[in-house]
Homo-oligomer: A and B are copies of this chain.
Amino acid sequence: MKNERRVTLKEIAERTGVSVGTVHCAIYGKKGVSEKTRKIILEEVKKSNFHLNENASLLKRGVQNVMVVLPKMEGEDGFYFRGIWEGIKKTAEGLSRSHFQFRYMEVDYRLDEISQALAKVYDEEADNIQGLITVSDNQEANVWAARFGRMGIPTVLISSYKEKAKNVYSVKVNHDKAGKLAGEFLYHTLRGKPGKVLVLTGNTDIYSNRKYVTAFLNYMREHCDWLDMVCVPGFGAENIDVSVRQALEGENFIGAFICNARNTMQFCKIAEDYDQCRDMIVVGTDVFHELSPYFENGVLTASIYQCNREQGSRAVGMLQELLSGTEKPEAVEEMPIGLVMKYNYEFYVS
């Protein structure tokens, strides 16, 4: 229970009869230390419960530059990525005081734009950065991420489809659980009420949409056989406006599930024009301030929160661990999923 002073490098050096430089090399596994002395040193390190003083370490090392390359925060892209950006910036701010410098690059979000941006960063900045946070929505971007990793730049991918690669880490949500959670909510709210459920399936070329909708539909098939699923594809306001209106005019629905942020937004806008939507159970995806009025007026019953802020926050945390610690985080970290309604959406809006 006493306040013990922590052991220092110097003390380890004294106790093992070598110099601090040698201890340093031993700890970091650098060459220039004989196997014998290394072993002695590491034993003493363990025995005396030595941990590097991160402050001293970072102070000496100087600033580390981290590049963040993500889709921009505006327009429909922003619905999802604004939360990510928020999480990143907030956490980064708390860190940059210390010894990290973050540089932000917002790119347009078309399926190939990220790789272009990454290529540019690779050519122009690779020598100036010590870490990278980005998103990878396709094979090509994955290849770029791997390239950064291979040249020793730790890279954290957010909400991405990721393959194993050296120095490449990832934070993501479990789309399977997310789909089931949406289903579970409809199960409880529509139990014993036969009818049709409108499902906006989004863009099935996008890995997350596909995975998420499939999990949802499987759940419904298994647990809600009294409900009819009516699927309408499309991604973004322009793509779904007509087809959703047609669906609502053609049939009566008692529920709806929408699998991404931009479609959730557009559906809510449309729903206001249709009386039948007033009593529908509507489960959307993501939480952003443009949805506030629909939570308030009851158009949107619930939304699946994919913890985007937490994903951003954790990505920064992982990079910090990678850049400052001696122990590495898991290659893939899964974030929670939440279900948000009128009385708690405010805590999650971005």
Chain A interface residues (CB < 8 Å from chain B): 1, 3-6, 51-56, 58-59, 63, 65, 94, 97-99, 101, 103, 128, 177, 180-181, 183-185, 188-189, 191, 281, 301-302, 317, 325, 334-344, 346-348
Contacts and interface: CB of A to CB of B under 8 A. Distances in A.
A337 B56 CA distance: 38
Given A188-B189, A188-B281, A51 B336 contact: no
Among A53, A97, A346, chain B packs the most CB atoms within 10 A around the CB of: A97
Contacts of A343: 177, 180-181, 183-184, 337
A342 B6 CA distance: 44
A52 B97 contact: yes
Given A51-B97, A188-B189, A188-B301, A344 B348 contact: no
The SS class assigned to the A binding surface is: mixed
Nearest to A321: B94
Given A3-B63, A188-B281, A189-B188, A55 B344 contact: no
Nearest to A279: B191
B3 A128 contact: yes
A161 to B, nearest CB: 21
B65 A99 contact: no
Contact of A177 (B94, B185, B344): B344
A59 B55 CA distance: 6
Contacts of A188: 188-189, 281, 301-302, 341
A344 B54 contact: no
